[in-house]
Structure 1
């Protein structure tokens, strides 16, 4: 990009006087720009023609001329940004931004939020961290999970207004009377993001690949075989009835990518850019369900935007703001909710804590006001009073049992658990118990080889669109439980879950799962600590934004009114 080099040279000319007129020579300017005097004269002529500066030379070798600046590098860069964004040259925009990292936040914010680009509605979202690759199976972050649901499609899918799965790639399904054979009938209008029709054999290959992943194999442990008895049909044959099967297939981890390219799906948006600085989605013209109202969605990953002291447009990962910097003070909350997901405390069985001691510890946390006193942003969290709505926490008589002299706590992200761990250590120290802390720098327990040595653990449990099913999936697939439960307890748990999944009726199945968790909470194995308060704020003009279960919003429903005549933004 030739203009980048010219802007870079202009920045070198500007810096010594910060834009004030300079008395200098061509030789000095050439040295500053690392070029010959002949090239320096050519550069000055080009910059004059562009209207960036004026150069008034003095006759005579070595005489000092006057260099006057008409614009600043910042304004030039902003104009270039607007031009390349209008042309859809996103990588050139990023290259421009990288010229001056200290100016990145101020440079990008005018282009964030809802914009129209070449008569196409585009939503640009500032984000505080690079996104992890969208690999098949489970993903650790809420943003990645949400993106997977926008890019890929499954045989079934959750919709916002219902806790039950609906048809997606399959328009409907049927189950045999014994619950062992399920047939999913595929739509005839399915297309991959590259425009090619979806073949039943491709979906079969993709699902077979999913079953090679250990966590997914555990999730579908009841599946004996998957085949295609005829065109546009996938048949699941089970070892034992599993009436969670449509729920399992509607979870983002079971969505299907192209067998030859795991970044190509057939969801409402196709992935057109995925770099550490920019992720771009564009609407899929051949999508088989309701078409998106936005043409494109972009994540601009700029850590500088996540700076509370500077009034950033990304206050916290659970509180997202869509808008430009000058609008931040005027943004209105358009959707908020208490997350059903929760941060939790777990107690390792057959460790140093007995049931009575675990109960005393849990009672201490919930009854001491420790969570209410956490020095966190007001309104960010709320103490958990139940595991899910209607799933009350057990109440025990006061526990006077003495705690062990030493305990070990392992915890992972989010950062609020670091504050919680410090508070708990202080509380236990006042009771004569020394708490040793170990931080696992991740969003889940994968890769934590020392977890089996912990007396207690703290982590974050995300809840998807179907809360009861999500908790069943957690018990089956999370690396936490083999490290928390004894082998006998884990075998009993799986046998119980296999029994629960046999109930065809949703309410009966949910009630049975509730009893499983109540038993675990009563035994002091697990307890929720606090929930987050999800919030999305936006300026007027960004419509259709409604929080989903993961604290994001369905990109297919968001829309922007067309700009007024002559006011189209970059």
Structure 2
């Protein structure tokens, strides 16, 4: 970046005397700036024309001139950043922002939240970490999962106003009487983000690519083949009925990118910039559903603001503040809910850990003050009393005669609250004569975890998507956790049971059957939920239409700024 180079060169000139006047030769300045004497004369002339300094040369080779400074590098950096931000050049501003957190926070403050920028309604969200690429298939982070649904579309989609999936790229669908043929009728007015019309063959190509991914092949195990049976129809042929199919196609992992360009979609927003410091979305003018009122969404990735205090865009990753949270008096809580997702504990039965001992451990967690005394920030988590609303946690009645084994191994992954939970559990078991070896897997999923096979106790986080029952079915079917938690026979029986559940056409019956599966897992001390999160979103005045979704984010297509916000 040219401005940053000019700033760095100015700082090299300024730094040796800390801004005091200097008596120096052109040769010495050239050496300081790692350039030729001719180039340093150009730098001096440009800086002098800009009013940054004054260079008074002396005639004669090797003579010392006088260098006088009018600005400091910090004030010059701030001026450049303000100019870049005013012009909407966010990438330039972030490249210039090599500042300590307080200075960066103060400088970014007027540009965060929602405002009209060059007659464009824009929402800027400061974020605490870089976003992972939106690759096809499963994504570990809530932010990435949410973003995939804003950029891409599936054949079907989940809606906060409906209990069941609705049409997306497919206007509607039909199912044969035996449940083995699903006909998805594709809209005729679809366009990719580059303006090209969508061909049904392209959707078929991308679906074939998805189904070659091992995890999605498992998810769509019932699909025998997909055919283009009409210019506007995709037909799924199944080997066995699967009445979760519309749900599977609505999941974020099944959204469809262009077969030749995985960053090109058909969703309400298109990816304009996706870099470690800045992610910029712009509204898709040919979107096939209701057009968003915001034209631009920006994630400003500013880890500097969070290194000491996760308190700007995220008081915690589940509690977002849209805009600068230093001035909390202006931010208002616009939406909050208890997450359906939960942190969980699973137990592997073996000669080291019997069912009775596992039941005693679960009872220790839920019947002792352990969960209520976790040293965590209040209003962040709430202990789980149900797996889902109405799915109670069965607990063994009397475990007083059961003793814990002398040693167990626990493995857990993120989120950070499980650090605290693991230590609390280690101390509680030590008091009972059981030594707990703790292993931390530094990731958000169990993919490629070499230590999973050696653990007796496992803790992790289960995100719940838009339809909780389906999300839990997908968890049992696809997560590498379960083949390690269950014996081979138990795992095969579980998959056969899930096949029987998915074949039930009636939604209520399917949900009840799945509830029985989870009740059995909890009753046999294979699984228990630990705690849920309290999702919160705060926003400054003038940002409207924000409603928490199942992942703790909000649908960008519903947010809007009134005209009175125009500055």
TM-score range, shorter chain: over 0.9
Q: CA deviation at 1:521?
A: 0.2
Q: CA deviation at 1:455?
A: 0.4
Q: CA deviation at 1:75?
A: 3.7
Secondary structure of the equivalent of 2:335? Answer: strand
Measured against aligned partners, the alpha-carbon deviations of 1:17-67 in whole angstroms (never above 9, x if no partner) come to: 655x53544556555444566655654443343233456789999678472
Matches of 2:482 and 2:505, distance apart in 1: 26
Measured against aligned partners, the alpha-carbon deviations of 1:283-313 in whole angstroms (never above 9, x if no partner) come to: 1111100111111212222221223548533
Does structure 1 residue 197 correspond to structure 2 residue 197?
yes
Partner of 1:406: 407
TM-score, length of structure 2 as denominator length = 0.93
Q: Closer, same or farther in 2 for the Cα pair 1:325/1:337, shift >3 Å?
A: closer
Q: Closer, same or farther in 2 for the Cα pair 1:41/1:223, shift >3 Å?
A: closer
Partner of 1:504: 505
Question: Larger deviation: 370-379 or 439-448?
Answer: 370-379
Matches of 2:504 and 2:37, distance apart in 1: 84
Partner of 2:184: 184
Question: Larger deviation: 337-346 or 396-405?
Answer: 396-405
Question: Larger deviation: 423-432 or 292-301?
Answer: 292-301
Q: CA deviation at 1:88?
A: 4.7
Matches of 1:324 and 1:102, distance apart in 2: 12
Matches of 2:177 and 2:261, distance apart in 1: 37
Matches within 5 A, 1:93-104: 93-98=93-98, 104=104
Matches of 1:41 and 1:551, distance apart in 2: 56
Partner of 2:221: 221
Partner of 2:143: 143
Contact 1:114 1:542 in 2 (8 A): yes
Matches of 1:559 and 1:260, distance apart in 2: 33
Matches of 1:551 and 1:406, distance apart in 2: 38
Matches within 5 A, 1:282-321: 282-309=282-309, 311-321=311-321
Partner of 1:249: 249
TM-score, length of structure 1 as denominator length = 0.93
Gaps of 5+ in 2: none
Q: Closer, same or farther in 2 for the Cα pair 1:546/1:74, shift >3 Å?
A: farther
Secondary structure of the equivalent of 1:340? Answer: strand
Question: Larger deviation: 89-98 or 99-108?
Answer: 99-108
Contact 2:56 2:65 in 1 (8 A): no
Partner of 1:263: 263
Q: CA deviation at 1:247?
A: 0.9
Q: Closer, same or farther in 2 for the Cα pair 1:309/1:156, shift >3 Å?
A: closer
Q: CA deviation at 1:99?
A: 8.2
Partner of 1:468: 469
Secondary structure of the equivalent of 2:272? Answer: strand
Matches of 1:278 and 1:430, distance apart in 2: 49
Does structure 1 residue 544 correspond to structure 2 residue 545?
yes
Matches of 2:262 and 2:202, distance apart in 1: 12
Secondary structure of the equivalent of 2:229? Answer: coil
Matches within 5 A, 1:281-430: 281-309=281-309, 311-324=311-324, 326-350=326-350, 352-400=352-400, 401-430=402-431
Q: CA deviation at 1:470?
A: 0.4
Contact 2:312 2:326 in 1 (8 A): no
Matches within 5 A, 1:42-81: 42-54=42-54, 65=66, 67-69=68-70, 71-81=71-81
Q: CA deviation at 1:103?
A: 5.5
Measured against aligned partners, the alpha-carbon deviations of 1:374-401 in whole angstroms (never above 9, x if no partner) come to: 1111111110010001111113213020
Matches within 5 A, 1:59-138: 65=66, 67-69=68-70, 71-98=71-98, 104-138=104-138
Q: In the comparison of the two structures, how many residue pairs are matched?
A: 564
Matches of 1:443 and 1:259, distance apart in 2: 28
Secondary structure of the equivalent of 1:342? Answer: strand
Q: CA deviation at 1:326?
A: 5.0
Contact 2:268 2:292 in 1 (8 A): yes
Matches of 1:100 and 1:339, distance apart in 2: 34
Matches of 2:308 and 2:539, distance apart in 1: 17
Contact 1:114 1:122 in 2 (8 A): yes
Question: Larger deviation: 535-544 or 137-146?
Answer: 535-544
Matches of 1:38 and 1:198, distance apart in 2: 56
Contact 1:154 1:249 in 2 (8 A): yes
Measured against aligned partners, the alpha-carbon deviations of 1:242-283 in whole angstroms (never above 9, x if no partner) come to: 111111111111111111111111111111222222222111
Secondary structure of the equivalent of 2:314? Answer: coil
Contact 1:406 1:433 in 2 (8 A): yes
The root-mean-square deviation of aligned C-alpha atoms, in Å, is 2.5
Contact 1:306 1:315 in 2 (8 A): no
Contact 1:321 1:536 in 2 (8 A): yes
Partner of 1:432: 433
Q: CA deviation at 1:354?
A: 1.0
Partner of 2:2: 2
Matches of 2:296 and 2:82, distance apart in 1: 17
Matches of 2:74 and 2:89, distance apart in 1: 19
Secondary structure of the equivalent of 1:448? Answer: coil
Q: Closer, same or farther in 2 for the Cα pair 1:333/1:13, shift >3 Å?
A: farther
Matches of 2:156 and 2:187, distance apart in 1: 12
Partner of 2:21: 22
Contact 1:411 1:459 in 2 (8 A): yes
Matches of 1:495 and 1:18, distance apart in 2: 74
Matches of 1:333 and 1:101, distance apart in 2: 25
Gaps of 5+ in 1: none
Q: CA deviation at 1:92?
A: 2.9
Q: Closer, same or farther in 2 for the Cα pair 1:233/1:347, shift >3 Å?
A: same
Question: Larger deviation: 98-107 or 303-312?
Answer: 98-107
Matches of 1:116 and 1:48, distance apart in 2: 35
Q: Closer, same or farther in 2 for the Cα pair 1:26/1:351, shift >3 Å?
A: farther
Q: CA deviation at 1:196?
A: 0.7
Partner of 1:454: 455
Secondary structure of the equivalent of 2:376? Answer: coil
Matches of 2:80 and 2:241, distance apart in 1: 61
Matches of 2:491 and 2:156, distance apart in 1: 30
Q: Closer, same or farther in 2 for the Cα pair 1:327/1:11, shift >3 Å?
A: farther
